[in-house]
Structure 1
């Protein structure tokens, strides 16, 4: 329970709910017991506190009654114990605000005396914040205790002013002095505050008023401390030194950077670097709090010779005569321990560097904390690059948005929109603040939409009218940095803006026709940032620089990334494929930008990009991202494998005429330049012609040959020769392992798992699929992961493990959505089979590129399913449709069809529950012997005879 007595009595339970204590006497009793937590308060002391010096005759009995009433109110939360002399409240002293206040105030004073001003200020702020009003108002005869607490409060306030002078304004100090005119410490603090703000005359007048008041009221002189303060002000020449400016808003985030600056406390020169709007000034002000510091804003200084004069003014020193050296005066003034904060050094960085070198050399006690968009470049300089905010950007947006729209908070409903806004603005603090201010006009959803549609510069064109011009709008922030660049640097920056998502040094040098020295200059000026391997611009900076460009650099950009893609493609079929996939993934945004531009800018480059990146998109699970560009390029002159790649990757599915033409192209090829295009055709469409036509096309390249063997093995497995296919798959697996190629290895493992599951070798199948999945997951090959999960789920369902099967299918559904293929038919078919809910299947379109026969079977359209499966390239599809047809056929036909399915597939499927139900029904009607005879008759058939049987029994 918590008890508040610093103001009217407030009592709350552990759950935060208020506890009602009725009646003035019980309330007074609780206040008294709380002030003496865990100590016995005698009955006489209670009577004195409630009745004063003239208690009634029955006061003792009345106290017992008051205790009884109080217990009824608070007994759920605390105990009131009685002993022979009085009563004791058993409570944690920290739960009584007056006791907590005393402890915090004492700790704060002790830390202040030890020089730990920041920590002391934090405790003292917490202590003074506990007061809600006059103390002990519910204790009628507690004037002495209240007076003692009031005096402790004033002492805590005075300590807080000493610990953090910026925490209390001159106006607040005047009010305190007016209320307590004889407290000399408050008078001295007011004098110091007036002097610190340049009001020396008022500070001296305050001393004279105090001196007269003390003489008139007490016949005394000012204390030595107050007299010393007066003398110090008298001796000061000119205005006082510029202290740290006050912050108009709360400081959000940057915990790691503040900790880093705290660790650098003994370092003599630290420069905080970053592009405009990253919050460099706010950070250094926050970091310098509690230190003896002088703040110098250099942004108005454009002439380097005037830098020393700016420091002199900030230090409160007289300007030197024309012939005098201002630097000599600075050295004399700064030859003592002091932190010099130099803000906005970038436009006079060379002159600042020269001056700082001199001051640090001649003033051993001096430390410099600078902010700039480029380093000062001095030996011994420690750099702290300031990146845009990460997750704290959302906190900052919420804080600033609540100021313009009271009650605003980030909720589950608007979190995505707020996150999108912060991401669009690179987490740049100033941009986030400017965006939050626009909530006066827009909702967060509208704001996010407008940022996406129009970009940041148009929307963030209004800011604080009193701010420096370079901080009023986002455009002005970036323009300030741009104007400081040389012509050569501006040209390089404009060209660099063509990169999306950053670039490697080789790409920048080639595309921008520049050197690493110029790039280093852009990094130094915070226009470009680097992690040592790649270079990038903040998106807001990139958009501004792109708008300054007078040439179209996109053709050179597209040519570079086409060459990168074509160099990488062969290596995606070798042991180094993971490294090359990572290289391409790092430049994914650039590859996509080059492709999008080439659709209209250079279709021939676009065709080559689509074909060269087919393996990359498929292996990394990004096939759908190329869909729109591939569709647009279909009718722009593509030929050969490039045309086939566009057909395979186009979204939505192209018209059938494109597929027919693509098949003809595949049949007419004499060599493969992009072998993965052929692999993708086989996986998604099936053979493009007889096997003997494909083999010469694949040639003797080891991977191509292994691909051909893999295709033949899968065809054997699915076309009624499972033993032959499994044997071939083992050989293919060994070949791909020998090449160190993981995709082919995963393919072979997947189909070997399928073969094992048909025979009921459950553990072996699961192990093979687990290894296959682990390889696909390393690529990010989402669509292949979906296929493996669907096959594994079917196996689990046949084992009777419906829960794990459903989990695999739901995981497959999530991966499909991430790959841009929501609710694929295979997943929906699996879920329908496992859950028994076929409702979702009614909305699935029976398209040419889907598992049409299986979908028709699931919908109970068995004759249609058989007709469609009859045109499929593999007998396994027809076998599954035939088993579906058997489920509704007369008993003998059902037995014959079940056997025919085995003849077509080359094996029965262990654990197939649908086939088992059909067999049980037919056996019950025919008897076991007749069922076995009919089943065996079907299973012994040749492929031709099986096809004939299917035709005859499905035609009824």
Structure 2
């Protein structure tokens, strides 16, 4: 058996413990042959023979007298003497530290095992010996609980009284960043004599300078962390070194295709390999000092074998990918930092990072279309597996101010970000890439020309109108995240930009059929052009049909279904559009789109008051979202399901679902949490639990401060006013209701929830009539204006019905039926601004 693992993993200690554990089963002893001091492979048999004849190396077993007799008989051949000695015995031979004499150790082990039936060999090495019958047992780094225990034990020895519990986060970070390697943890523990755990953790970016306090009695190559890795590096040939150092540009590991693309080929060589022994082994003379770097070429076809060799040498970790049938390769953090230093010394960083950027830009570009059909699940898994590499590629493109690469990456990742609801990433990366080029919406703004190709259909560089459209695209992605930073879009400059975006496009352009061009919709909405939205979306649907854009047609139909569900005053059938979108997405195998189409149809049923049918659709959508691991989408669908179940009369089950969303999401940044809290506020208030309702509303307000879900702000203020009326705080309710009315009149609110203006006017009317009976006539007029602002065909939910009924009761109680009717009639024809002003609020 061979114990393999990286330097400092504890192979030697484990071999000794194993030898002690089986000592009683091997009557002729357990013997240790330390090969680390052996420089010449030809000396391995002699070193083993010496170990077997030296009393101090005997762990268990008989003395060495007969060995000396054997040595006298066969003094000319140590292998023969070893065979003669071991042949009749049952013994365990431990060959420790074989990696630098691996071939000689393998020949010795194979020969002795074939000739000595009672012999067992336990070897430690950074790579397998490769002999028949060998069992390879990797010695993995310590899992966190054991790594923490080792740090605690060694730390207490270095600084009495030390406990990892005093700073558990720093202790865990030390163990994690040192990859659980026992030697590295022990070296870090030695530093506790002068540094705190947090100081050590913060300095691990320079770990080779920090961890230099090993025990004086251990081998020199184990006294510092650098020496441990130097030992492995010195055993590599030129090609292996080139592959290892180039692997350091990856983040989160890579698959074989990426390794071949990045580690193969030619990069500028530098002083790291100049005059080294491996160069001389290859027959090359040392490079003169000061000579220009030589080229280091690695044939990409050789990369798999070289990678396999590095895995065998315990410098690269190989493990099956979480999804799919491929292996992934990664470096331990310590090895990665060392390899990165060597990459810089070799002068290869720029070339390796450029190869990495190119590979993952192309990976994103060709994988993105797979998100729109039967390959969706595999594409999402692929994006997730490589996400750290993609982020690293983006970071390098931005740092290099490479606009073309940044544009391609952001545009290729935009839909993945949408599906995964990682809008913070979309906002931040689009902002960073926007800054690399000119603002395409700066005056003078030229109207966009029709484009029938996407900006990511071909690799960069782009030019002409495609480049201009790519620049517009990242600005539109930023626009789609506007609710996360609402203040930034409420300045005069932002207003000018929204107007420029609105005027750049026109309905029916091909590029407005797919994202990010379709986000033009938000600019039209935010500039108050609500009346144009119906024409815009109708033209988009027509253009998709005309151009045969099937997947895009499904998205346009979903969007129109959502609009029609909310705007019951507009002609059209939301359920019909949702049905067609559902059929397309199901046919294409787009699980995310199928869930969205079911949600759109469920919302249409909900707006018509068909709550059971809505619940069926929301329930049916959840498995599709779960299939993709789209947690944010699952949570939002669950919140919608809980809300319609409450309206359908199944309040107990509906409330349980809403609480589940709140508890499962905590403070995650997605739309499900505020939606669930708002639904809960409504239910809790209606069932007399106003204190709990206010607690949820307070949490919602805190989340708005952090996350800025501006689209919900009007809901929150209106809910505050409503709870004030329930608790009898009518004067306070009037102030909140006035604010809610103003927010409900904004274009976005009118698009999303046009009934809210009427609802908040009703809350104001109730508060006014209850606060001051002398103003009850004003309350009645407010109700008339509120009723006039209800969209035709709107079916109010329970809370809306209760608000309207309570307001009318309060006004009638103060005025009487006749005066109420007269005051109500006087409100006919007033604008909401006039009615609010007349009420004195």
TM-score bracket for the superposition, by shorter chain length: 0.7 to 0.9
Are residues 1:480 and 2:231 paired?
yes
| Aligned-pair CA distance for 1:616 | 1.2
Q: Report which stretch shifted further, 391-400 or 513-522.
A: 391-400
CA distance in 1, matches of 2:713, 2:201: 42
Partner of residue 305, structure 1: 42
Give the alignment of 1:532-681 within 5 angstroms.
Answer: 532=320, 533-549=327-343, 550-551=347-348, 552=350, 553-601=352-400, 602-637=402-437, 639-648=471-480, 655-656=488-489, 657=493, 660=498, 661-664=500-503, 667=506, 670-672=509-511, 675-678=514-517
Partner of residue 347, structure 1: 100
Q: Does the 8 Å contact 2:95/2:124 carry over to 1?
A: yes
| Aligned-pair CA distance for 1:415 | 3.0
Which of 691, 710, 715 is the equivalent residue of 2:558?
Answer: 710
Cα deviation per residue 1:527-573 (whole Å; 9 max; x = unaligned)?
Answer: 11212511111121111101101212111111111111111111101
SS across alignment from 2:711: coil
| Aligned-pair CA distance for 1:445 | 3.1
| Aligned-pair CA distance for 1:400 | 2.4
SS across alignment from 1:772: helix
Give the alignment of 1:850-889 within 5 angstroms.
Answer: 850-860=711-721, 861-873=736-748, 874-875=750-751, 877-889=753-765
Give the alignment of 1:780-819 within 5 angstroms.
Answer: 780-792=629-641, 794-795=643-644, 801=651, 805=655, 808=658, 811-812=661-662, 815=665, 817-819=667-669
TM-score normalized by the length of structure 2 = 0.73
| Aligned-pair CA distance for 1:576 | 1.6
Cα deviation per residue 1:582-640 (whole Å; 9 max; x = unaligned)?
Answer: 01111111011101111022232112111110111222243323543332222211613
Partner of residue 448, structure 1: 201
Q: Does the 8 Å contact 2:612/2:645 carry over to 1?
A: no
Partner of residue 525, structure 1: 313
| Aligned-pair CA distance for 1:395 | 2.6
SS across alignment from 2:516: helix
Q: Does the 8 Å contact 1:862/1:884 carry over to 2?
A: yes
Cα deviation per residue 1:438-494 (whole Å; 9 max; x = unaligned)?
Answer: 22223333333333xx34323322222222121112221111111110011111111
* Gapped regions of structure 2 (runs ≥ 5): 24-28, 54-66, 265-299, 321-326, 438-469, 685-691, 722-735, 766-775
Partner of residue 83, structure 2: 331
SS across alignment from 1:906: coil
The structure, 1 or 2, with the larger RCO (C-alpha pairs under 8 Å, 6+ apart) is 2
CA distance in 1, matches of 2:825, 2:11: 84
TM-score normalized by the length of structure 1 = 0.64
Q: Does the 8 Å contact 1:879/1:904 carry over to 2?
A: no
Partner of residue 441, structure 2: none
Q: 1:876 to 1:580 in 2, by over 3 A?
A: closer
Q: 1:877 to 1:932 in 2, by over 3 A?
A: farther
Are residues 1:896 and 2:789 paired?
no
SS across alignment from 2:117: coil
| Aligned-pair CA distance for 1:303 | 0.7
Q: Does the 8 Å contact 2:426/2:477 carry over to 1?
A: no
SS across alignment from 1:374: coil
Cα deviation per residue 1:742-765 (whole Å; 9 max; x = unaligned)?
Answer: 112212222333344455555444
| Aligned-pair CA distance for 1:304 | 0.3
Q: 1:930 to 1:582 in 2, by over 3 A?
A: farther
SS across alignment from 1:302: coil
CA distance in 2, matches of 1:848, 1:763: 29
Partner of residue 700, structure 1: 548
SS across alignment from 2:124: strand
SS across alignment from 1:563: helix
Partner of residue 592, structure 2: 743
| Aligned-pair CA distance for 1:424 | 1.2
Partner of residue 44, structure 1: none
CA distance in 1, matches of 2:805, 2:650: 13
Q: 1:743 to 1:682 in 2, by over 3 A?
A: farther
Q: Does the 8 Å contact 1:645/1:677 carry over to 2?
A: yes
Q: Does the 8 Å contact 1:894/1:919 carry over to 2?
A: no
Q: 1:758 to 1:697 in 2, by over 3 A?
A: closer
CA distance in 1, matches of 2:520, 2:592: 16
Cα deviation per residue 1:203-228 (whole Å; 9 max; x = unaligned)?
Answer: xxxxxxxxxxxxxxxxxxxxxxxxxx
| Aligned-pair CA distance for 1:700 | 2.4
Q: 1:652 to 1:836 in 2, by over 3 A?
A: closer
SS across alignment from 2:175: helix
CA distance in 1, matches of 2:421, 2:708: 22
Q: 1:279 to 1:878 in 2, by over 3 A?
A: same
Q: 1:441 to 1:447 in 2, by over 3 A?
A: same
| Aligned-pair CA distance for 1:275 | 1.1
Q: 1:278 to 1:488 in 2, by over 3 A?
A: same
Q: 1:875 to 1:426 in 2, by over 3 A?
A: same
SS across alignment from 1:310: helix
CA distance in 2, matches of 1:667, 1:801: 46
Are residues 1:460 and 2:211 paired?
yes
Give the alignment of 1:408-419 within 5 angstroms.
Answer: 408-411=162-165, 414-419=167-172
CA distance in 2, matches of 1:382, 1:592: 40
Q: Does the 8 Å contact 1:857/1:881 carry over to 2?
A: no
SS across alignment from 1:888: helix
Are residues 1:389 and 2:160 paired?
no
Q: Does the 8 Å contact 2:605/2:611 carry over to 1?
A: yes
| Aligned-pair CA distance for 1:716 | 0.3
Give the alignment of 1:149-164 within 5 angstroms.
Answer: none
Q: 1:436 to 1:348 in 2, by over 3 A?
A: same
Cα deviation per residue 1:175-218 (whole Å; 9 max; x = unaligned)?
Answer: xxxxxxxxxxxxxxxxxxxxxxxxxxxxxxxxxxxxxxxxxxxx
Q: Does the 8 Å contact 1:425/1:431 carry over to 2?
A: yes
SS across alignment from 2:31: strand
Q: Does the 8 Å contact 1:782/1:815 carry over to 2?
A: no
SS across alignment from 1:462: coil
CA RMSD of aligned residues (A): 3.6
SS across alignment from 1:427: coil
Are residues 1:953 and 2:809 paired?
no
CA distance in 2, matches of 1:814, 1:591: 28
Which of 683, 705, 719 is the equivalent residue of 2:567?
Answer: 719
Cα deviation per residue 1:146-191 (whole Å; 9 max; x = unaligned)?
Answer: xxxxxxxxxxxxxxxxxxxxxxxxxxxxxxxxxxxxxxxxxxxxxx
Q: 1:750 to 1:919 in 2, by over 3 A?
A: farther
Give the alignment of 1:5-20 within 5 angstroms.
Answer: none
Which structure's CA Rg is the greater one? 1
Are residues 1:358 and 2:152 paired?
no
Give the alignment of 1:93-108 within 5 angstroms.
Answer: none
CA distance in 1, matches of 2:505, 2:163: 58
| Aligned-pair CA distance for 1:312 | 1.1
| Aligned-pair CA distance for 1:407 | 4.1
- Number of paired residues? 676
Partner of residue 279, structure 2: none
